[in-house]
Structure 1
Amino acid sequence: MMMQLNVLKEEISNGKLDNRFYEVYGAKTNLDELKTRLNKLVNSYEAAFGSDAEVGLFTAPGRTEICGNHTDHQHGCVLAGAIDLDAIACAAPNGTNTVRIKSEGYPEIVIDINDFEIKTDEKETSAALVRGVDARITQLGYDVKGFNAVISSTVLGGSGLSSSAAYEVLIGVIFNSLFCDGKLTAVQIAQIGQYAENVYFGKPCGLMDQLASSVGGMVAIDFEDTENPIVKKIDYDFAKSGYSLCIIDSGADHADLTDDYAAIPREMKAVAAHFGKDYLRQVDEDKFWSEIKNIRKQTGDRAVLRAIHFFADHKHVGEQVAALENKDFNAFLSCVTRSGHSSAERLQNIYCTTRPEQQAVTLTIETAHKLLAGKGAVRVHGGGFAGTVQAYVPNGTEEQFKNGMEAVIGEGCCHFLNIRPQGGVALV
Structure 2
Amino acid sequence: MPSRFVLDLNKAADCNEAGTHVELTQLKDQLTDNTYDERLGEIYGSDPGEIAAARTRLGSLLDWYGKAFGEDANSTDVSLYTAPGRTEMGGNHTDHQQGAVLAGSVTLDMVACAAPNGTHTACVISEGYPEIVVNLDELDPKPEEEGTSQALVRGMAAAMAQRGYSPVGFNAVVYSAVPGGSGLSSSAAYEVLIGVILNHIACADDLTAAEIAQIGQFAENTFFGKPSGLMDQMGSALGGVAHLDFKDPAKPVIHPIPFDMEKTGYALCIIDSGADHADLTDDYTAIRTEMKSIAAFFGKDVLREVDPAEFWTRIPELRATTSDRAVLRAMHFFEDHARVAQQAAAIEEGRFGDFLQLVKESGISSQTQLQNLYSVGQPLEQAVVVTQSVAKHVLDGRGAVRVHGGGFAGTVQAYVPADFAGEFKKEVDQAIGPDACHILRIRPIGGAVIAG
When structure 1 is superposed on structure 2, of 62-71 and 23-32 the one drifting more is 23-32
- CA deviation after TM superposition for structure 1 residue 402, in Å: 1.3
- 56, 61, 82: which is aligned to 1:41? 61
Q: Does 1:7 find its partner at 2:26?
A: yes
Shift in Å, 1:384: 0.5
Per-residue deviation, 1:146:
1.2
**Structure 2 portions without partners, runs of 5+:** 1-19
Q: Within the alignment, does 1:20 sit opposite 2:39 as a pair?
A: yes
Structure 1 segment 221-370 matched on structure 2, within 5 A: 221-370=244-393
- Aligned residue identity for 2:131: E
Match of 2:105 among 41, 65, 82: 82
CA shift digits 1:197-221 (9 cap, x unpaired): 1111111111111111111111111
Which sits farther off after the overlay, 321-330 or 11-20? 11-20
Amino acid at match of 1:137: M
Q: Distance in 2 between matches of 1:124 and 1:134?
A: 17
CA contact (8 A) 2:182 2:410 kept: yes
* Corresponding residue to 2:52 among 15, 27, 32: 32
Aligned to 1:52: 75
SS of 1:357's equivalent?
Answer: coil
**Residue 48 of structure 1: how far off its partner (Å):** 2.0
- Is 1:146–2:169 an aligned residue pair? yes
- Cα displacement (A) at 1:254: 2.1
Residue 15 of structure 1: CA displacement? 2.0
Match of 2:330, SS state, is helix
SS in 1 for 2:105: strand
Residue 373 of structure 1: aligned partner: 396
Q: Which residue of 1 aligns with 2:150?
A: 127
Residue aligned with 1:390, SS: strand
Distance 1:203 1:193 in 2: 12
What residue is the counterpart of 1:200 in the other structure?
223
Q: Deviations over 1:181-230 (max 9, x none)?
A: 11111111111111111111111111111111111111111111111111
Counterparts of 1:109 and 1:44, CA distance in 2? 16
Q: Which moved more, 1:321-330 or 1:150-159?
A: 150-159
CA distance in structure 2 between the aligned counterparts of 1:66 and 1:215, rounded to whole angstroms:
14
Tell me the secondary structure at the aligned position of residue 255 of structure 1: coil
- Residue 388 of structure 1 corresponds to 411
Q: Does 1:105 align with 2:128?
A: yes
Query: Residues of 2 paired with 1:87 and 1:47: CA distance?
Result: 19
**Further displaced range: 352-361 or 298-307:** 352-361
Letter in 1 for 2:42: E
Query: Deviations along 1:3-46, whole A, 9 cap, x unmatched?
Result: 22222112222222111012122345722221221111000111
Corresponding residue number in structure 1 for 2:437? 414
In 1, the alpha carbon distance for the partners of 2:227 and 2:358 equals: 29
Amino acid of the structure 2 residue aligned with 1:5: L
Name the stretch that deviates more: 414-423 or 248-257: 248-257
Q: Partner letter of residue 153 of structure 1? A: S
- How many Å separate the matches in 1 of 2:433 and 2:113? 35
SS in 2 for 1:397: helix
Query: Counterparts of 1:207-218 in structure 2 under 5 Å?
Result: 207-218=230-241
Report the TM-score when normalising by structure 2: 0.92
The alignment's TM-score, normalised by the length of structure 1, stands at 0.97
Contact 2:45 2:51 in 1 (8 A): no
Q: Quote the Cα distance in structure 1 between the aligned partners of 2:390 and 2:46.
A: 31
Q: Distance in 1 between matches of 2:278 and 2:119?
A: 41
Give the match's secondary structure for 1:352.
Answer: coil
AA paired with 1:93? P
d(CA) in 1 for partners of 2:286 and 2:161?
A: 35
1:226 and 1:26 map into 2 onto residues whose CA distance is: 32
The 2-side partners of 1:179 and 1:238 are apart by 36
Q: Which segments of 5 or more consecutive residues in structure 1 lack a partner in the other structure?
A: none
Question: What CA distance in whole angstroms lies between the structure 2 residues aligned with 1:386 and 1:316?
Answer: 24
C-alpha change, 1:252 and 1:145, in structure 2 (3 Å) is closer
Aligned AA for 1:165? A
Asked if 1 retains the 8 angstrom alpha-carbon contact of 2:145 and 2:151, the reply is: yes
C-alpha distance in 1 between matches for 2:296 and 2:146: 32
Deviation string, structure 1 residues 287-318 (Cα, Å, up to 9, x no partner): 11111111111112111111111111001100
| Larger deviation, residues 198-207 vs 378-387 | 198-207
Cα deviation 1:263-301 (Å, max 9, x = unaligned): 111111111122111111111111111111111111121
The percent identity for this pair of structures is 54
SS of aligned partner of 1:419? coil
Partner of 2:425: 402
Give the alignment of 1:174-185 within 5 angstroms.
Answer: 174-185=197-208
**Deviation readout 1:49-70 (Å, 9 max, x if unpaired):** 2212221101111111111000
**Residues of 2 paired with 1:339 and 1:178: CA distance?**
42
Distance 1:149 1:251 in 2: 31
Deviation of residue 356 (structure 1)?
2.1
Question: What are the Cα deviations for residues 80-113 of structure 1, in whole angstroms up to 9, with x where unaligned?
Answer: 1111111111111112222221222222222222
Deviations 1:343-392 (A, max 9, x none): 11111111112222222111111111111111110000001111100001
**8 A Cα contact 2:44 2:51, kept in partner:** no
